[in-house]
Structure formats: C-alpha cells, structure tokens
Amino acid sequence: MDTLQTYTHPTGSRRPRKPIGVDIASLPDDSLVDKTIRRAVTGLGDSHTYVLIAEQKFPLPIRLGPRCVRWRMGDLRRWLADPLNWRA
C-alpha cells in the first residue's frame, strides 16, 4: 500500500508526507477526497490551496454542505501533472 510518498514542489524542494492510511494510487478519478487526502496528494496547506483557487490555479472544490467540501481525485491528478500551467 502506497501510503507514504514524497512530494516534490515545483521549486524542487522535497519533503516526506505523513502516512494517511489510504492507498492513493488505487483511488478512482471520480472519487471525492477530503482535505486530509488533498493535503497528502498535493503537499499544499489549506491557506495556500485557497489562494491558488482564488487565482484559478487549482481545482475547485465541490461543496457538499455549509462546512463540507471535497475534491475530485482526477482533478488533483491533472493539477499534479502540470501545476504551473493549470487553469480552472
């Protein structure tokens, strides 16, 4: 199970990720993931994520309720493939 990965930031810095107990590679593209998995997949904190969303440089979350948002795994994978040129 691939629960501990290394994130490489576009600037080249690397840091280990915390284990999250989910096999990220096996999640289908249409699965909805919460911020814990989004953080583990992207390596971005909440504040920076929402700055990128406001700049239309990160996938939009899906609002499920007043305090509940999720992201499509496929959108996160497409963002990871080319984060510097992503446009929502």
Query: pLDDT per residue over 27-41, tens digit each?
Result: 899 999 999 899 988
CATH for 6-83?
1.10.1660
Phi, psi of 27 (to 5 degrees): -70, 130
- Top pLDDT among 5 and 1 is at 5
* Domain spans of the chain, in order of start: 6-83
- Spatial contact of 59 and 76, defined as CB atoms under 8 Å apart: yes
The helix or strand, by DSSP H or E, that contains position 15, with its residue range, turns out to be strand 14-16
Type of residue at 26: S
Q: Write down the pTM of the prediction.
A: 0.75
